[in-house]
Chains A and B, each alone.
Chain A
Amino acid sequence: MLGLLSKRLLLVIPNLIGVVIVTFLLTRALPGDPAAYFAGPAATKEAIEQVRAQLGLDKPLIVQFGNYVDDLMHGNLGNSLTTGQPVVTEIKNRLPASAELTLFGLILSMAIAVPLGILAAVKQGSWIDHTCRVVATAGVSLPVFFTGLLLVYVFYYLLGWSPAPLGRLDVFFQAPTPITSFYLIDSIITGNVGAFRAALSQLLLPGVTLAIFALAPIARMTRASMLAVLASEFVRTARASGLDNRTVILTYAFRNAMLPVVTTLGMVFSFLLGANVLVEKVFAWPGIGSYAVEALISSDFAPVQGFVLTMAILYVALNLLIDLLYGLIDPRVRLEG
């Protein structure tokens, strides 16, 4: 396992280098003169030159890159133009909101998609199978911001079951004492039932929106891989040995079918992290996605940069985690590593 871990960590390094180079190039590709841009619209010529020297933009590109990497190592992502706050602090404060939403959406969609995919494969050609196919095709065609708005209209405006789509917690509630900074978990730990219910009711609609979006690839993959496994020889042997259906499907087939599903999770995360931005905008969710969108609209570049970098690093880390999980589930991978 340790061998696999170190081998995988080595593979991550070129990816991280690529990510850092791309984000650096994106900063330098800003249209016009970055120094004039960072100095603000009312700056004089001297002020612009001063900013240029201050930012190190008068140095050769490779030195600039060195400085950029150095800044990153020290956790410095620059300051936001509009608020003047360091980008790192802001991202650190907002990350839990995004993480809670994304994970909630993922868990919810796994909880629906995996059983749906299994049922569709076991009862191939039944109505469940057809439902699965319709869900899978419709799910990939639905723009996630559109699903979100439809849910808001039905559950907030028409039925009134849901609170207004404005953030993580109703203004009348106090946020639970931050321990994990996940409102649901914190409120359970502190035993704050009111805050838990309020946080859950706010989280439900955006979470369901994300879940619908992630449903399609997971259900489709589960179905395909269950079908492949069910046709395999060891399942036939298990059936021939007289094991009951439940054991064959859940113990023998399902465990093996999960492997390709875990692999697709990487792709699902790529979609989810992107969709997260749109969902956060629809539900005024105070996460890093809406932070980046606000900054984009006011042409404030440092937060966008920090956001792209954070997301990329998160994504690389998640992929690493998935690979290790894969090794944990499948001993063959461990032996190779």
Chain B
Amino acid sequence: MTDTVLNTPPKAEINKAESNSLLRHARYVVAENPVTGFSFALFLLLALAALIGPYVVPYDPLASDTAATLQPPSLKHWFGTDALGRDIFSRVVVATRLDFIIALSSVALVFAMGGLAGIASGFFGGWTDRIVGRISDTIMAFPLFVLAMGIVAALGNTVTNIVIATAIINFPLYVRVARAEANVRRDAGFVQAARLSGNSDFRILLAHILPNIMPIMMVQISLTMGYAILNAAGLSFIGLGVKPPTPEWGIMVAEGAANIISGEWWIALFPGAALMIAVFTFNLLGDGLRDLVDPQRRT
């Protein structure tokens, strides 16, 4: 009796060992594919800009300076100034937060809706599956960006509705992944054990199946974050959602579009490049996460 007690290490040590092996695995994946490490560094940079950006930028992103309009990039204004003399560097950095909030909240929303609907349809099958499947099919029957336009136009031209529209058009993707993963596990040993010990279906779904498919869902989240940012920026580029003078990447590119023809490239280029880097980061990160979670699907 005393022997067994002595042989089992304290709980904290087990946790430490587990997190060590995860860390080691993560380090291995990063070493194997330096691009993933690079994308993670980029992600940290973007997250930092979103968190503290508004407090560290050199200029007020909304303050116009009529004495310094359309200045090309210089030491004073790193990314130049726009037609109203606003500092583009400050605006690009400050915009990170809004773009992140839009993308994050739409992804959270679709994760809650699509993830749960998908798990339920994979787990229960039958009518639940048919109804959820029909809803997904109907959404997929539209070109997705066009549907998002229609939704924002109908619900009203606000940032909240951009979030909702972006969530709706991503719904089928989440349903598909969650459904497939839940379907595989519906008769797994741990589910049967949970059922035998008297758990309700609802509890099995949330407490047993959901945590098990979380890794795969995380990959999906990272991959759709990029798409969500792109979609939201596209909507605000055509004048939906975010209103000027709010700094946001899509609308800033739209503001700079008129100046491109007369050669003032910096107004549209920097917010566009920021947008591109953000999307690129999430796509790479998603691929990297997939390698970490599911080595078989490595491409």
Q: Which residue of A lies closest to B153 (CB)?
A: A304
Q: How many A-B residue pairs have CB under 8 A?
A: 153
Q: Which residue of A lies closest to B146 (CB)?
A: A311
Q: Which residue of B lies closest to A311 (CB)?
A: B146
Label chain B's interface by main secondary structure: helix
The reply on A161 being an interface residue by CB < 8 A is no
Complex interface: chain A residues within 8 A of B154 (CB): 26-27, 29-30, 301
Stretch at the interface among B88-96, B117-125, B257-265: B257-265
The reply on B144 being an interface residue by CB < 8 A is yes
Stretch at the interface among B106-114, B194-202, B214-222, B235-243: B235-243
- Do A143 and B261 have beta carbons less than 8 Å apart? no
- Do A31 and B156 have beta carbons less than 8 Å apart? yes
How far, in angstroms, from A316 to B138 measured CA to CA in the complex? 10
Stretch at the interface among B18-26, B46-54, B278-286: B278-286
Complex interface: chain A residues within 8 A of B250 (CB): 143, 145
Complex interface: chain B residues within 8 A of A16 (CB): 141
**Nearest CB on A from B277, distance (A):** 8
How far, in angstroms, from A47 to B268 measured CA to CA in the complex? 46
The reply on A83 being an interface residue by CB < 8 A is no
Stretch at the interface among B62-70, B178-186, B205-213, B226-234: B226-234
Tally of chain B residues near chain A (CB < 8 A): 49
- Do A149 and B253 have beta carbons less than 8 Å apart? yes
Per-position binary interface string of chain B over residues 135-167, scored 1 when its CB falls under 8 Å from any chain A CB and 0 otherwise: 001101111111111110111110000000000
- B148, B150, B230, B254: the one contacting A305 at CB < 8 Å is B150
Complex interface: chain B residues within 8 A of A282 (CB): 257
How far, in angstroms, from A122 to B243 measured CA to CA in the complex? 49
A312-B280 contact given A14-B137, A145-B237, A304-B149, CB 8 Å threshold: no
- Do A316 and B283 have beta carbons less than 8 Å apart? no
- Do B142 and A19 have beta carbons less than 8 Å apart? yes
- B140, B142, B299: the one contacting A308 at CB < 8 Å is B142
A277-B238 contact given A141-B279, A269-B143, CB 8 Å threshold: yes
How far, in angstroms, from A19 to B140 measured CA to CA in the complex? 10
How far, in angstroms, from A21 to B134 measured CA to CA in the complex? 13
- Do A296 and B145 have beta carbons less than 8 Å apart? no
**A-B CB contact pairs (8 Å), 9 listed:** A18-B138, A18-B141, A141-B226, A143-B276, A146-B276, A278-B145, A304-B153, A308-B150, A312-B142
Which 10 pairs between the two chains have the least Cβ-Cβ distance? Answer: A274-B145, A18-B138, A146-B272, A273-B143, A308-B150, A141-B280, A26-B154, A141-B279, A31-B156, A311-B146
